[in-house]
Structures are given as C-alpha cells and as structure tokens.
Chain A
C-alpha cells in the first residue's frame, strides 16, 4: 500500500513539471514580464526606470531558458524557468501584482470557499441520491418518465440562469437572505444558504440522472432478482442491496472532487461576493494578474492529481477485488 502511494506520488512529478511548463510558456513567453510591468504600473507619469525596477524587483530580469553568461550549473539554475518551477514545486507562489503574498491569500480564502463548497457537495449528494432513489423506485411509472425528462430539462439550463434567478427571487423579491456578501463564523450560514440552494438545484438534473443509471444497473443484476425472489420488499431490495452497491461508483466519483473543493466555485463565489478562491481567480482574470492565475492553475492541477490518487486508494478500500499493483 505504502509503496503504491509513493509510486503514485513519484509518477505525479513529471506531470507537474509538464503543467509548469505549460503555464510558463503561456505566462512568460507569450506574455512577457515587460507587458506585466506596463499593465501594473499603468499610471500617469510612469518612467522607463520604474518599469525596469518593477521587473527587477519581481525577479523577472533573469534570462528565460538559458543563461549563457553564468558558469556551470548556474547556466540552467539562474534562469526564469528554473526559479519559477522551483518556487511552484515548493508551493511558494510569490507576490501578486498588488504586492500581497499569494500563499497567505490562498490560506485565508480557503475557509470561505469550503464554507460554500462542503454544504453544497453534501446537500447536493443527498438530494441527487434521494431523487435517483425515487426515480428508480417508481421506475416505469409516469414519475420516472417525467422525472427523467425533467432532469434533462434541468441539465439544459445554463448555470448562469440558476444563479441569476435564485438571486433575483430569494434575494430581491422574497428578501430571505442578503443578496451577497460574507461574514465569518456561524453567521456565514445566512450568506451561504442561497449559493448552496442554487448549486444543489443546478446539479440535480445531471446528478440524479447519472445516479439513476447506476442504480438501475444494479437493480437489473441477477442478485437483485434473487433477493426479490426471497421475498424482500422492493423498498428493502433497493436500499439494502442496490443502493449499497451503487454507492461505490458514487462515492469514488465524489472523492475525485474533494480536493478541488478548496478551489471553490468560480461562478457562485463571484456572483455572491464570497471571498473564496473562486472569486480570487475571477478577480485575477479580470485584472490580468497573471501571477495569481498561474498559481491557481498550478494549485488546481496539484489538487486534481491528489484527487486521482485518493480515488484509486478508495477503490481498493471499498472493493477488495481491486488490487494495487
């Protein structure tokens, strides 16, 4: 087990190097440090010295790929690509254009992101399973037919509409919750309620339909027929056997997304002004703060890889037939 995990982590290293290379190409070759400096210093009386000073103080004045002037190993280490890659690997994101330490900001913003993402995930999971069970239980009835069509319809609505309409109805017309904003601690519930509802409703279409297929797959299996023949009620069969076995793909599907919960949701956080990592990314995109966008791309990749490793491990835990090699 331990050896397997170590191997998986080692295997992740070349992938992370690849991710880094991609981001480096995008942010330092296509968009040069000089471009960044000019964007950043775009004030009225900017001098040429100020631009150079900015590049220097951010450590962007090094050669990009190869330092011909340095000696020995320094030819490679004294380059932008090496220092930038090294810093990313050590999760040292450096400072943003606004001069703030990105690492610290990320730490501060994880809390609000999770405050929305975790309830959204849990309630979403519960709702999806519940609806899927309902549809499976009443399969081949009008509820199943209309329910599935309704799910497809829900899937066909852009997530923007859910947010816009939710904010409009619950925030503006009914005045149940503040339209946007965030306070820490337990008062956060008031601000988190609406984004969570929106995210649950927006996800129920595809989620419930997917879980229904998983459940039906189980229900159609032979052992269910056997169980049914033994005289178990359809309710018992569904809950005791079908659900239990369908939970394996459901839960492993969830494990993948758990690490990425830290990244928050771009749309929800931005619409409801929740100061999490999602809105951090959106703001950075809009103000063209490349240092932040790059860090978030990298962080996202790291978390995704962690998710994959966790999934593999959880497979072995729930299903003894899968062995780690």
Chain B
C-alpha cells in the first residue's frame, strides 16, 4: 500500500463521538424528547444553523482521517489527513512571507540584486500565483471574476444535484414552500446550496490565488483557517464527551442515593468549582506540560505530542467544567425521585441501576441537550483565550487561538496586515454564532419556560 492509516487518539474519540451521535439520532426516544426535537426542526433558524455546523463537522471529519505516505519504501514521518489531500497543494505552496489576499506580488519589499552589484528593494512576484502582464491592470480583475463565475456555476450545479437527489430519495417536497409547524426542509436546502456554493467558489479560487493571503512564513491563510476548524470543533465536542459521564453518573447518584454519597459528591464539586476555572485549567496544563516533557520517549513524534496535548486539554477542560452540569442534574434527580411513579418503582423493588436507567436518565436528557449546545460555543471561544495565556493547544497545531495570537502582532505593522486576523475571526465567528443560535432554539425546545420569554 502506498500509505498507512494513522489513528490519532483524538481521531478515534471523535469518530466514536460521531457514532454515538448517529446512534442517538436513530434510537427510539421518549415522546417529550421527540416533541422537543420536532419543535427544533420547525424553526428556520435551527435548520439554517445546523447546516453551517454540519459543514464544520464535515471539515473535521475530513481532517480526522490521517495517514502516512510511503516514499521509496519508507513511510514519511509527517502525518497527512484527507483534508490535506483535498486542499493540496495549498500546504506546499509556501511563499517567502506576507502577501495580501489575491495579491500576485509579495507584501514586503525584498532585496533584489541588480546585475551591476547594486541592490534595490521592491516587491517580488509570488511563486504560486498566476502573474499578469503589467500593462493590463484589469486582466487580473477579469480573471478573478471569470473564475468566481466558474466556481459559482460548479458549486451551484453540484449542490443542486445533491439536493435534488437527497430530496428524491428521502421523499421531501422542497419545491413547495414549507408551511409553518412542519420541518423546514426548504430553509435547510437553501442554506446548503448557499454554503456549498460559497465554499466551492473559495475552493476553486484557492487553486489559483492565495484568497486570504499568506502569513509571515508564507503559509496560505485559507489553508490554515480550514485546518483550524478541527481543533475548534474537537475542543467543543470532545470536552463534552469527557464531561458528560462525570456529570451524569455523579449527578444522578448524588440525587438518587442521597446520604453520604450525596455529601461526598457535593463536597467534590464544591471544592472543584470554588477554584476559578481559568486558574485550575492553567495549573493543570502547566503540570501536564511537565509530565509530557518528562516522558519524551513516549511523545517523541511532533504530531503525536500535539495530539496528546489537544486531548489532554479537552480532558482538563472537561474535568474542570463538569461541576455546573452535575449540580443541575443532581437537583433535577432529587425532584424526579419524589415523583409518584419513581416511588412506586422503588416500592416494587426495581434494582437501582435499572431504575436510574429507565426513569431518571431519560428525564434528564433535556438538561443535557441544553448544556451541550450552550457549552460548545463557549469552549470554542475558550480555546483562543487559553492560547493567548500560553496554555492552549500545542503551538504547532493549527488553531484559531494560535492564529489570533500570532496575528495580533501584525496589527502593529504599517501598513496593517489584517487578513490572518480577519480570516480567523470570520471562520470562528460563523461557527460560534451558528452554534449559539442553534443552542437558543434547543433551549426553547427543551425548556418551555424559555419559550415564553422569547
């Protein structure tokens, strides 16, 4: 085989999570939960935002299949992902330094040695961008326009075909406008077409230009932002995966068994939550760094080390933030336990585990859904802050936090280098906004009180 698959820890966990997501979707659900989801899908906003979030998830999936290429009988040490292949050769098209979006010359003047031993400073043509004759200033604009149109056509036609195919197989009427109080398929398909086309245009243009410019070492910014998606999404999702078991088990146990179990669990989470979150994270990450560097033989590969650090960050974030959910679940369990049907089951002698599984957990799911949806966006935002403090993901990992951290220095330049910061901002903002809006709808759906206040 010319390549060998590499399973990073975060990949495995992410795919596991995706599997869980699918299982949960397919699994039969209690009626009230089904109703709530129906409410969600009847919201245009939810349908639109879920498409955007799915787009980010898709990018993460593509970026979570890793492999090593075989060259001359040996496997290369650098690990690539499917996304790299899809975006290639963007990762290889490295210019010398900064260049503005769509520029064909470098941003910074470089020394050019003249034949007669002199030196002039001027911007130089970029290596991986099409050059146009200087006497035709409009040629480039026309070229960009032309390529945009081509990308647009490609994207539109492809996405429409996909839509129609899907609508046909799932028997969804998309031509008729959806009536209120039905699933808003139309909104979903429109958003899909828009997003897909937009991405197609960018992708097509990125074959010919650095559409978001290049950074200090000449790396394509578009490539960086897309690669950063994985880090953001993983932190948002894997952390939840870490935190859920803690919070669910401890929360229900404390509320159900009460007595000393409740006391111990309460003590643990009060203690943990009384340490300011950031400080606890910082302290844990600092200590973790020591552990990693104490065992260089285990973490000797850069990709592996960066991956372990990302995973560790998720675990630390999870461990430090399960307390609030745990508290909510405990309170709700206490309430549920007093319900007649639960009391009746207890009287009938149903085993505790069975009882928790059958009567308690399903009735806690709405709290879990709301928390997961709300936490996701705050975790994505937290990553950037942690990167600034210096306890974020590995500096060699692509992430919006790392991008912002580097790019903030670029604002001090004259003229300003704005594109890295802007790119990170736009991509991050889109994800967080979509997640926030979606979370809002979820909250309304699962918490009838919130619905009234909208």
A residues contacting B by CB (< 8 A) are 14-15, 18-19, 22-23, 26-27, 30-31, 35, 152-153, 155-161, 164, 168, 172, 213, 216-217, 220, 260, 263, 266-267, 281-282, 285-286, 288, 290, 293-294, 296-297, 300-301, 304-305, 308
Contact call A152/B436, Cβ cutoff below 8 A: yes
Contact pick for B453, options A30, A160, A220, CB 8 Å? A220
Q: How near does chain A come to B269, taking the closest CB pair, in angstroms? A: 10
Asked if residues B274 and A304 are in contact (CB atoms below 8 Å), the reply is yes
A sample of 19 cross-chain residue pairs with beta-carbon separation below 8 angstroms, ordered by A number, consists of: A15-B270, A18-B271, A19-B271, A22-B271, A22-B275, A30-B291, A152-B436, A152-B440, A156-B429, A156-B432, A158-B428, A160-B408, A164-B408, A213-B450, A282-B390, A285-B390, A285-B391, A304-B275, A304-B276
Known interface pairs A158-B404, A164-B421; 19 further A-B residue pairs with C-beta atoms within 8 A, sorted by A's residue number = A15-B271, A19-B271, A22-B280, A26-B287, A30-B291, A31-B286, A31-B287, A35-B290, A153-B429, A153-B433, A155-B436, A160-B385, A164-B411, A213-B450, A213-B453, A260-B276, A282-B389, A293-B279, A305-B274
Contact, CB under 8 Å: A23 / B408: no
Instruction: For A267, give its contact among B286, B385, B428, B440 (CB under 8 Å).
Output: B385
Fill in one digit per residue for B272-286: 1 if any A CB lies within 8 Å of its CB, else 0.
Answer: 101110111011101
Is B433 touching A266 in the complex (CB atoms < 8 A)?
no
**Closest residue of B by beta carbon distance from A25:** B287
Interface mask (B93-128 → A, CB under 8 Å = 1, otherwise 0): 000000000000000000000000000000000000
* Top 6 A-B residue pairs of the complex, sorted by shortest distance between their CB atoms: A18-B271, A300-B276, A156-B432, A156-B433, A30-B287, A301-B274
Q: Pick from A14, A19, A31, A266: contact of B389, CB below 8 A.
A: A266
With a cutoff of 8 Å between Cβ atoms, the chain B residues found around residue A301 in the complex are: 274-276
**B275:A27 contact, CB within 8 angstroms:** no
State the main secondary structure of chain A at its contact with B: helix
Chain A residue with the shortest CB-CB distance to B384: A158
Given contacts A156-B377, A160-B384, A286-B390, contact A168 B411 (CB under 8 A): yes
CB distance from B380 to the nearest CB of A (A): 9
> Which chain B residue has the least Cβ–Cβ distance from A148?
B454
A267 and B278 alpha carbons, distance in the complex (Å): 11
Is B437 an interface residue, CB under 8 A from the partner?
Answer: yes
Q: Is B87 in contact with chain A by the CB < 8 A criterion?
A: no
Nearest Cβ on chain B to A306's Cβ, whole angstroms:
10
Chain A: CB-nearest residue to B45: A149
Inter-subunit contact A159/B385 (CB<8 Å): yes
A-side contacts of B7, CB under 8 Å: none
Q: Known interface pairs A26-B283, A285-B282. Does A158 touch B381 (Cβ–Cβ under 8 Å)?
A: yes
Q: How far is the CA of A302 from the CA of B375 in the complex (A)?
A: 26
Which one of A19, A23, A267, A281 lies within 8 Å of B388 (CB-CB)? A267
* B353 interfacial contact with A, CB 8 Å: no
Q: CB-nearest residue of chain B relative to A297? A: B279
Q: Which of A26, A282, A288, A305 has the most CB of B within 10 A?
A: A26
B348 proximal to A (CB < 8 A): no
Q: Are B283 and A293 in contact (CB under 8 A)?
A: yes
A157 to B391, CA, bound (A): 20
- Distance of A203 from chain B, by nearest CB (Å): 13
Selected contact of A157 from candidates B390, B411, B429, CB within 8 Å: B429
The interface residues of chain A lying within 8 Å CB-to-CB of B452 are 220
Q: A288 contacts B381, CB within 8 Å?
A: no
Q: What distance in Å separates the Cβ of B12 from its nearest Cβ neighbour in chain A?
A: 26
Task: Tell me whether B412 is interfacial, beta carbon within 8 Å.
Answer: yes
A137 to B358, CA, bound (A): 45
- Closest residue on chain A to residue B418 by CB atoms: A168
Is B425 close to A, CB under 8 A? yes
Q: Which residues of B contact A22 (CB under 8 A)?
A: 271-272, 275, 280
Closest to A152 in B: B436
List chain B residues, Cβ under 8 A from A158.
Answer: 381, 384-385, 400, 404, 425, 428, 432
Q: Which of A152, A159, A216, A297 contacts B275 (CB 8 A)?
A: A297
In the assembled complex, which residues on chain B have CB atoms less than 8 Å from the CB atom of A294?
283
Provide the bound-state CA to CA distance between A158 and B429, in Å: 8
Q: How far is the CA of A220 from the CA of B391 in the complex (A)?
A: 45
Contacts of A286 in B (CB 8 A): 390
Please judge, given known A-B contacts A285-B282, A304-B276, whether A152 and B437 are in contact too, CB under 8 Å.
Answer: yes
Instruction: Determine if B267 is an interface residue (Cβ-Cβ < 8 Å).
Output: yes
Which residue of B267, B421, B432, B453 contacts A18 across the interface (Cβ within 8 Å)? B267
- CB pair B274 A15 closer than 8 Å: yes
Q: Which residue of A lies closest to B391 (CB)?
A: A285
CA distance A46 to B436 in the complex (A): 54
Most buried by A among B274, B390, B428, B440: B274
A-side contacts of B390, CB under 8 Å: 282, 285-286
In the assembly, what is the distance between CA of A186 and CA of B388, in Å? 30
Cβ of B218 to closest chain A Cβ, rounded Å? 23
Residues of A contacting B421 in the complex (Cβ-Cβ under 8 angstroms): 161, 164
CA distance A168 to B407 in the complex (A): 12
**Chain B: minimal CB distance from A28 (Å):** 10
Tell me the chain B residues, 254-306 only, with Cβ under 8 Å from chain A: 267-268, 270-272, 274-276, 278-280, 282-284, 286-287, 290-291
Q: How far, in Å, is A307 (CB) from chain B's closest CB? A: 9
Contacting residues, chain B, for A260 (C-beta < 8 A): 276
A contact residues around B453 at 8 Å (CB) = 213, 216-217, 220
* Residues from chain A with Cβ under 8 Å of B271 in the complex: 15, 18-19, 22
Q: Annotate B349-391 by CB proximity to A: 1 below 8 A, 0 otherwise.
A: 0000000000000000000000000000100010011001111
Q: How distant is B375 from chain A, measured CB to nearest CB, in Å? A: 14
